[in-house]
Structure 1
Amino acid sequence: MAKTTPAKFIREVRQEISKVTWPTRKETSVTTVMVFAMVIFAALFFFFVDQVLAFGVRQILGLGA
């Protein structure tokens, strides 16, 4: 197995980082807003599904009386 010196490793890392296509500030902000929107949507969806299932279980077990 070939040994890599720390200096060579740093050079290779810098070469690889220079190949990365970094997102623009606008792309980052739009993606962040979309992630927050999807998190809110998923939270509301699961909240309502949980409420419906809890209502059904209460009706079946007779705990809603």
Structure 2
Amino acid sequence: MTTNPFQFIQEVRQETRKVVWPTRRETIITTIMVFMMCAFAAIFFFLVDRLLGLGVGLILG
């Protein structure tokens, strides 16, 4: 099926009208949650690294 460029642009515009953008509040909450999860992951992996390092140190020590 071949569509001409004009029809393609019309279809693209119709699809972009269907996009629902998040509100400012949703964006802020999501951003805060991402930062919190990054901090949690960093702390978790730091602790796991310390425990594994301690374990390896005891075994090889």
TM normalised by structure 1 equals 0.86
Runs of 4+ in 1 over 2 A off after TM superposition: none
CA RMSD of aligned residues (A): 0.9
Q: Which residue of 2 aligns with 1:10?
A: 9
Deviation at 1:47, TM superposition (A): 0.7
* Greater CA drift, 3-12 or 53-62: 3-12
1:24 counterpart residue number: 23
Q: Supply the AA of the counterpart residue of 2:46.
A: F
Higher relative contact order (CA 8 A, sep 6+): 1
**Rounded Cα–Cα distance in structure 1 between residues aligned with 2:35 and 2:10:** 37
| Structure 1 residues 8-60: Cα deviation after superposition (integer angstroms, max 9, x where no partner) | 11111110111122110110111011001101110110011011001100100
> Match of 2:5, as an amino acid?
P
Q: Which runs of 5+ in 1 are unaligned?
A: none
- Per the normalisation by structure 2, the TM-score is 0.91
How many Å separate the matches in 2 of 1:29 and 1:21? 16
